[in-house]
Amino acid sequence: MASILCRISKTLVNHLLPPFTKGLIRPMVTLSWPFQSQPRDLSLPNPSWSKEMLQHYELYNSQCVGEDGKEGSGPWRRLPSYNRLLKFATGGVLLSKIIQSEARLFTRNIKIPGAGFEYVMFIKKSQEKCVCIFQAGHLLEGPPGHVHGGATAAMIDSVNGTHATYVCGPVMTANLNINYRNPIPLGSTVVLESTLDQREGRKAFFSCIVTSIDGSKVHVESKALFLSISMSRILGG
């Protein structure tokens, strides 16, 4: 299926990209669906979301609104999520070498709602915390009836990595150290909480705890190290 390259509006760009990129790049988006003018935000509720997932989503979403009643002026910010990476140009030069029309973000590669990773992330504007509400679909099985350790690792890497990108700019995962405490039942909703522990030059240390939705059970605890890198390193330059 041929992809469509189209420019997107400045408003949408500001919503899509991490703060450090603002004003530096001229974004373009490769879309997967012909005739679609804007990418679909996959972190919004869909019919597969459980009652617990919706309730927790509302809990954080309500904190994106400030005391003045304005959307976006609260202490938290919902992060949109797409199944394609942004393709962009700097100084008018299209970095076409990274365009792979069929490539899809690993954690958004299943189209059937509820079958794979359903999740939404919120970041605290003060940047020390990032939270993800994650509902594990039936295609993520590892041990019978439970989530694969690799699927949990993928979500932890995504949440810590997103958090690191907002705090530090472009980063790559250097280390991920995961302690699995209690397996996560397939179909359940859990909460991942990412914390910025320390920064030392190019290094940023994060931790993550994965708990049941009510916080009563710890499923996983992990530590991660991210390294700041240049944009050209990410793009393979």
User: Residues in the site for a second copy, rule: CB under 8 A?
Assistant: 85, 97-98, 100, 102-107, 109-110, 116, 138-145, 147-151, 153-158, 161, 172-180, 183, 186, 234-236
Closest distance between a second copy and the C-beta of residue 78, in Å? Answer: 22
Which candidate in 41, 157, 197, 214 is catalytic?
A: 157
Closest distance between a second copy and the C-beta of residue 45, in Å? Answer: 22
Is 157 one of the catalytic residues?
yes
Nearest to residue 176, comparing CAs of 160, 194, 187, 192? 160
Question: Residue 166: is it exposed, middle or buried by C-beta count within 10 angstroms (0-12/13-18/19+)?
Answer: buried
Question: Residue 169: is it exposed, middle or buried by C-beta count within 10 angstroms (0-12/13-18/19+)?
Answer: middle
Encoding tokens for residue 59?
């809990």
Closest distance between a second copy and the C-beta of residue 180, in Å? Answer: 5
**How far apart are the two ends of the chain, measured CA to CA in Å?**
27
- Which residue's CB is nearer to a second copy, number 211 or number 222? 222
- Which residue's CB is nearer to a second copy, number 165 or number 211? 165
- Which residue's CB is nearer to a second copy, number 61 or number 107? 107
φ/ψ (deg, to 5) at 202: -75, -10
* Active site positions, annotated: 157
